Amino acid sequence: MIEVRDLTKRYGDLTAVDHVTFTAQKGEIVGFLGPNGAGKTTTMRVITGFLPATSGTVKVEGFDIFDDSHEVRKRIGYLPESPPIYADMTVTAYLQFVGRIKGIPRAALNDAVDRALERCGLTEVTRRVVGHLSKGFRQRVGLAQAIIHEPSVLVLDEPTIGLDPRQIRDIRSLVRELAGQRTVILSTHILQEVAQICQKVVIINEGRVVVEDQIDHLTQGAPLEEVFMRYISGGRGEEATG
Amino acid sequence: MRNILAIAAKDLRSQFVSPIAYVVLTGFLLLGGWFFFNLLARFNFLLNMYLSFRNPEAMERLNLNEFVIAPLLHNLSVILVILVPVITMRSFAEEKRSGTYELLMTSPISVTEIVLGKFFGAFGFVLIMVGLTAVYPLILVLYGDPEAGVILSGFLGLLLLATAFVSVGLLTSSFTDNQIIAAVSCLVGLLLLYVISWPAETAGANLGAVLKYLSLTEHFGEMVKGVIDTRDLMYFGSVIVLALFLTQRSVESLRWR
């Protein structure tokens, strides 16, 4: 479970995230939707503890990200916008390294690596060097890295960006499979993606949450695109872009 | 401890899968071999000259430690000033550039563990570098009669010097995501520490003593002469600990900026 309350992040004069509040329940896949530059990545970086918040609180599984940063980091799996891979390592060596720094005991490490390889469809490429893999496979390696320590919360920053249609379909179904009992936040600016995988949507624009609702309730039959455009142009019409 | 080892092993390994390790090691040993060969040739020349002059006093003064090992160590230390920044420039800058910094910083490990892991990874590399140069004194021991204690003290000095360089390199690498900036600022910093004692004679007694104390060469020079003084060990220890502490602060600053 993730609770974001009144989260604000400023970079100097620029307010990237402005009093953002939303929650993601256990077992829920939340689509974090917004135009480019809306503050999605910044919010996710704060949730994962990579960046500190200027003000506001974030709780992950009941632990405050500032006071119990270590506990939070144990429970989060995070896939940044570009997968954090070491291009010169083989897939297995890379996952073993990640498993080690994520605190998996030595005895359980090989099993955890095998399980992550299996689940992310990487069994064919275990001995390949990560830097030589296709973009789709790199994204799978990124997902494997995020789930290797069985986190209860998954934070995925634009997991399908830059992939071809077939890879996009594969990654989406993979995300659905991996979700299970976890809390998942997935950022994207692709509307169909949210409609396909998420139960709930949080739309953010210019650093503010403009709507937080269950998808079925929000759209009520209307196309999500219309709803999205309505919300991101509402209020501050002259600045809104798609 | 396990996390430190994991990061150290990862970093050391990544040096050896990229060509950097081989270029640096080859260059270091090539130059080292050239210095060693020339110093030995000069020693031989002097020996033959004094022999033919039948000059026993000069012969007395001629010894392998002072005429071969000491200048060799000083030359190697200058090469290290140039090569160590190349080893350490990647440590943080590369992680930042490739996005793996986010992986490290969002993993359940402390900043201190990350910094120490990086430190031991780079230390492992300079240990290999300095270790490989042991072949030169080994040749002398096989064919001549140098003083082993002085050699050990000198090489310990060289290793401490290299370790201090590594710590400074980590610090400059933690400031930036650009490897060139990391390497150049480390090089400048090390050269400054190298030549800081130059005005010592003219700067007055107090300032002169301070500048002399700050200079890496002064402390290294003592160890090359075979004197292991706690003052020199303390100096190297302080440089290493201070640079690592500042690195830890610099990395951690991301969390409170």
Spatial separation of the C-alpha atoms in residues A4 and A11, rounded to whole Å: 19
Q: What 3-state DSSP class applies to A120?
A: coil
Give the B-side interface with A, CB within 8 Å: 2-3, 6-7, 10, 14, 17-18, 98-110, 254-257
Reported ipTM: 0.88
Q: How many CB atoms lie under 10 A from the CB of residue B66?
A: 17
State the average pLDDT for chain A.
88
Which residue did the predictor score with more confidence, B167 or B209?
B167
How long a stretch of residues is chain B? 257
Model confidence at A237, pLDDT cuts 50, 70, 90, reads: very low
State the DSSP string of A139-168.
HHHHHHHHHTT--SEEEEESTTTT--HHHH
User: What is the reported pLDDT for B144?
Assistant: 83
pLDDT at B215 over 50: yes
Each residue's pLDDT tens digit, A87-121? 999 999 999 999 999 999 999 999 999 999 998 88
Mutate: best of A50, A67, A143, partner B, most B CBs <10 A: A50
Give the A-side interface with B, CB within 8 Å: 45, 48-52, 69-70, 73-74, 76, 78, 80-89, 97-98, 100-103, 106, 145
pLDDT at B47 over 60: yes
Are B256 and A52 in contact by the 8 Å Cβ rule? The answer is yes
Query: Quick one: B219 exposed, middle or buried, by C-beta within 10 A (0-12, 13-18, 19+)?
Result: buried
DSSP state at residue B229: -
Are A84 and A95 in contact by the 8 Å Cβ rule? The answer is no
Over range A23-46, report the average pLDDT.
Answer: 90
Each residue's pLDDT tens digit, B17-27? 888 899 999 99
Please state whether beta strands A2-11 and A63-64 pair in parallel, antiparallel, or not at all (unpaired). unpaired
Spatial separation of the C-alpha atoms in residues A8 and A17, rounded to whole Å: 5
Spatial separation of the C-alpha atoms in residues A56 and A20, rounded to whole Å: 8
**Residue matched to tokens 């500042």:** B246
Chain B CB contacts of A49 under 8 Å are 105-106, 255
Beta strands in chain A (DSSP E): 2-11, 14-24, 29-33, 55-60, 63-64, 76-79, 153-157, 183-188, 200-205, 208-214
CA atoms within 13 A on the CB side of B18: 16
Percent of chain A at pLDDT exceeding 70: 96
Over range B88-97, report the average pLDDT.
Answer: 93
User: What is the reported pLDDT for B242?
Assistant: 96
C-alpha closest to that of A7 among A43, A50, A44, A60:
A43
Residue contact B98–A51, C-beta within 8 A: no
Q: How many CB atoms lie under 10 A from the CB of residue B7?
A: 26
Chain A CB contacts of B254 under 8 Å are 50-51
pLDDT at A166 over 60: yes
Chain A CB contacts of B111 under 8 Å are none
User: What is the reported pLDDT for B257?
Assistant: 59
A164's tokens: 């071809």
Chain B CB contacts of A81 under 8 Å are 99
Each residue's pLDDT tens digit, B108-142? 999 999 999 999 999 999 999 999 999 999 998 89
Over range B75-98, report the average pLDDT.
Answer: 94
User: What is the reported pLDDT for B256?
Assistant: 66
User: Long-range contacts made by residues A219-226, C-beta under 8 angstroms, separation at least 24?
Assistant: A224/A191, A224/A192, A224/A194, A224/A195, A225/A191
Q: How far is B97 from chain A (nearest CA, A)?
A: 10
Over range B5-22, report the average pLDDT.
Answer: 92
What is the signed CA dihedral for A106, A109, A111, A114, rounded to 10 degrees?
-150
pLDDT at B213 over 90: no
Which residue did the predictor score with more confidence, A98 or A240?
A98
Q: How far is B46 from chain A (nearest CA, A)?
A: 51
Which residue did the predictor score with more confidence, B182 or A193?
B182
Spatial separation of the C-alpha atoms in residues A196 and B107, rounded to whole Å: 30
Residue contact B6–A97, C-beta within 8 A: yes
Over range A66-80, report the average pLDDT.
Answer: 92
Closest to A84 (Cβ–Cβ): which among B10, B14, B100?
B100
User: What is the reported pLDDT for A239?
Assistant: 42
Please state whether beta strands A153-157 and A183-188 pair in parallel, antiparallel, or not at all (unpaired). parallel
Alpha helices in A180-223 (DSSP H): 191-197, 215-219
pLDDT at B220 over 70: yes
pLDDT at B196 over 90: no
Residue contact B14–A145, C-beta within 8 A: no
Q: How far is A239 from chain B (nearest CA, A)?
A: 29
The angle subtended at Cα A133 by Cα A128 and Cα A135, nearest 5°, is 155
Over range A64-71, report the average pLDDT.
Answer: 90
Each residue's pLDDT tens digit, B229-255? 999 999 999 999 999 999 999 999 877
A197's tokens: 């995988």
What pTM does this model have?
A: 0.90
State the average pLDDT for chain B.
91
